[in-house]
Amino acid sequence: MAAEAVPEEVLLNNDLIKELVEVAKDTALLHGLLLRTKESPYSSEVVSYIPFTLFPTPVPRDLFQQALQVQTLFNQLVDKISRDSCFLEEALAGPIKVDMFTARLFQIYRTVQQEACAQSIALCLNRSDYMLDLRPDRNATLKQIEINTIAASFGGLASRTPDVHRHILKVAGLPEHSKRVLDNNPAAGLASALAKAWELYGNKVIFYSLPYFFFFFSLMYICRNIPVIRRRFSDVFKTGLLDQDKKLFVDGKEVAIVYFRHGYMPDNYTEQSWEVRLMMERSQAVKCPDIGTQLAGTKKVQQVLAQPGVLERFFPNEPEAVARIRATFAGLYTMDIGEEGDRTVAMALANPEKFVLKPQREGGGNNIYGEEICRVLQEKSERVAYILMDKVNPQPSRNYLLRHGSPVKLATCLSELGIFGAHIRQGTDVVWNQCAGHLLRTKSAEYADGGVAVGVAVLDNPFLV
């Protein structure tokens, strides 16, 4: 596999790079690749360009296609897990004893299950993230890092980055290279699924849970005339209510869909927020995600799925589907109290640099590496809040990372490929199951963990090789 998407003479031509950097920034601004600045996170009048790479990054075509083709199976898997209360209760039995955030989520799930408050329409917009694991024979394999089932972000921005990279390559004198940057429009795919769920419910408003400093989820404004209200949990605590039919109203308007743009981290919640979340889960409104789907995205569920025979529970008599999903799994190990968990701990302590310790969190910047793993594992009772995963050995590339206020220099980079999925079920009938597009994020190899929102990774595009 080529190390870069551009020739060496372009990559090392300092005068050309300076010109391309300025062109790239202007092109990003013209295409709406914007975010609020760190200095003015609450101001809609002060924005800059979203962090992104100067050039697209090489990705093997066969592995890219593998990731696309398995996505609809992951969509089905998440939906099946969300409805299997026995599986979720057994899988999460350990984490909910020591991880209070996961325990609170599971308490809501259990309450809703006991009250039979299940919504008739289930909508999941997810993103399955992968890295390419370079084996000793120098061949790469696709390995899933995680699946994000709540606030799977950057669908809108990823739809705009291909044109930026195409233009940069043309200015660099590489028009043929620009043709290898793929079309990509996850915004349209995700918006279409939201619109379909909205139609199935009955064309009411969509409620959008927004902490004001996050990127605005603008999918509904791309090509749809659907009313959207944006509120915090604290606002809904004041104006939200359920009627006798368990229809949800916010500001006096009936809500068709609740889209959670946050709610995946403990600091997103106050006691009022937990009350609001329970009220929403009890309602007939379509939750994206519902509480079961959010729990299906926990790392413990990811680890349990990798155990022998577990995937067969969800895909009985479908060995090909099981094989295609399992082929993407990295080594995943339990931290439960007992002999198997003790073996995992011993393995991690002996070679901590070979593993990643993962808590039950989404959002980036939560994983634990190296000697820090040893420190965490000293607390035996706390270890069940985590899973252990083999550390992926990705193929590095070289690129320039453009970030507001940071110097531009050639860096050794690592990339992560995300595939968006959209799934709708009405009752027991699947009415929508699609791969909605892709996302590539790249970071400097000096960082072990962290996404775009936490200031480590930047947006990118695959350059198929």
Residues with a catalytic annotation lie at 127, 146, 148, 153, 299, 358, 362-363, 441
449 is in an annotated binding site: yes
203 is in an annotated binding site: no
Segment holding 143, helix H or strand E: strand 140-148
416 is in an annotated binding site: yes
42 is in an annotated binding site: no
Q: What share of the chain is helix, strand, coil (3-state, %, to 5)?
A: 40, 25, 35
367 is in an annotated binding site: yes
189 is in an annotated binding site: no
Segment holding 53, helix H or strand E: strand 52-53
What lies within 8 Å, CB to CB, of 292 at 6+ separation is: 81, 82, 83, 85, 88, 109
Encoded tokens for 350: 């002996």
Q: What own/partner pairs with CB < 8 Å and gap ≥ 24 does 345-354 have? A: 345/377, 345/383, 347/388, 348/373, 348/374, 348/377, 348/388, 349/373, 349/374, 349/377, 353/391, 354/390, 354/391
433 is in an annotated binding site: no
Report d(CA 162, CA 421) in Å as an integer.
19
Report d(CA 188, CA 171) in Å as an integer.
28
Confirm if 62 and 275 have CB atoms less than 8 A apart: no
Report d(CA 146, CA 416) in Å as an integer.
11
Cβ neighbour number for residue 377 with a 10 Å cutoff? 21
Q: How far is CA 382 from the centre of its chain?
A: 26
359 is in an annotated binding site: yes
Encoded tokens for 50: 């979203």
299 is in an annotated binding site: yes
In angstroms, the Cα distances linking 428 to 8, 289, 317 are 55, 17, 19
403 is in an annotated binding site: no
184 is in an annotated binding site: no
Report d(CA 202, CA 199) in Å as an integer.
5
Alpha helices in 370-426 (DSSP H): 371-376
441 is in an annotated binding site: yes
Torsion region of 441: left, alpha or beta (phi above 0 gives left; psi -120 to 50 gives alpha): beta
358 is in an annotated binding site: yes
379 is in an annotated binding site: no
CA dihedral 222, 224, 228, 230 (to 10 degrees): -10
Encoded tokens for 91: 């899988």
In this structure, are strands 205-209 and 228-231 parallel, antiparallel, or unpaired?
A: parallel
443 is in an annotated binding site: yes
Task: Give the CA radius of gyration of the chain.
Answer: 22
287 is in an annotated binding site: no
15 is in an annotated binding site: no
The DSSP code for 459 is E
Residues marked as binding for ATP?
146, 299, 358-367, 369, 416, 443, 449
Residue positions in the annotated binding site? Answer: 127, 146, 148, 299, 358-367, 369, 416, 441, 443, 449
Binding residues for Mg(2+): 146, 148, 362
